[in-house]
Amino acid sequence: AAGVIQSPRHLIKEKRETATLKCYPIPRHDTVYWYQQGPGQDPQFLISFYVKMQSDKGSIPDRFSAQQFSDYHSELNMSSLELGDSALYFCASSFRRGRNSGNTIYFGEGSWLTVV
Amino acid sequence: GENVEQHPSTLSVQEGDSAVIKCTYSDSASNYFPWYKQELGKGPQLIIDIRSNVGEKKDQRIAVTLNKTAKHFSLHITETQPEDSAVYFCAASKSSDSGTYKYIFGTGTRLKVLA
């Protein structure tokens, strides 16, 4: 079965540079989530989108922005990178059902960002 | 604020023994509780989930129990194998105001199965 596709898998950037991560959700999934996971940490929610609209916002820094496009893929843009931004960034997707049905989110393999 | 406590943080068991990981959540509105297995350098993979209208669910060697009153849920792995070694995350989820699903993750349990 198709999974969540993230690119690039690895990237190295210098401080103050910018980086863009891409996420292609599972086909038919309309909701995308972005998470940041530091070494030995649990995933921290950054932001989510439902049919191109920002849905929820977590601990996303102001230096970061994201959007979801008409084909439901999403991009996370990170500017003025800092050493502390080094982490594994996950995208997850889900298909929105009824409000109270409980929805499973499926994670991609992540994009490793190293800021030097 | 909302949080999910997960214990233990590390767990070592002998191959063939059982492993139990426990989570406690704070938000009584949570209604969906997935468990993810994360291997080194990979994304979390869903292994089992349970909804708030169910007390127990089993899938082969893996089972999850939910006590809504106590706000506890647990993962049970029987007949552990070396390939079960990974970090396991619990999560508590509920619908957000926007209609998407807000997940609060536990801090993870590193399980080592010793051959």
Secondary structure of B60-106 in the HEC alphabet? Answer: CCEEEEEECCCCEEEEEECCCCHHHCEEEEEEEEEECCCCCEEEEEC
CA B94 vs CA A29, A56, A79, B101: distances in Å: 18, 13, 31, 6
List the single residue in A with minimal CA-CA distance to B89.
A42
Q: What is the mean pLDDT of residues A60-85?
A: 96
Interface of B with A (CB under 8 A): 31-32, 34, 36, 41-46, 49, 51-52, 89, 93, 95-96, 98-103, 105-108
Nearest to B89 among A33, A42, A102 (CB): A42
A107–B45 C-beta distance less than 8 A? yes
The pLDDT tens digits for B18-36 are 999 999 999 998 989 999 9
* pLDDT tens sequence across B97-111: 666 777 889 999 999
The candidate with the shortest Cα–Cα distance to A9, out of A110, A115, A94, A84, is A110
**Is-contact B85 B19, C-beta < 8 A?**
no
Nearest CB neighbour to A103, from listed B89, B101, B106? B101
pLDDT of A39: 87
Per-residue model confidence (pLDDT) at position B82: 95
Binary contact (A102, B99; C-beta < 8 A): no
Express each pLDDT in A70-81 by its tens digit. Answer: 999 999 999 999
Give the pLDDT confidence score for residue B23 in this predicted structure: 98
Q: Please list, in sequence order, all residues whose beta carbon lies within 8 angstroms of the beta carbon of residue B3, skipping any fewer than 6 positions away.
A: B25, B26, B104
Contact B100 A104 (CB under 8 A): no
pLDDT for the residue B102:
79
> Is pLDDT above 80 for A102?
no
Strand ranges in chain A using DSSP code E only, listed in sequence order: 5-7, 10-13, 19-24, 31-37, 44-50, 53-57, 64-68, 74-78, 87-94, 106-107, 111-115
Question: B31-80, pLDDT tens digit by residue?
Answer: 899 999 999 888 999 999 998 888 999 999 999 999 999 999 999 999 99
CB contact under 8 A, B105 and A31: no
Interchain CB distance below 8 Å, A50 and B98: yes
Once rounded to an integer, what is the mean pLDDT over residues A43-47?
Answer: 91
- Count CB pairs under 8 A between chains A and B: 70
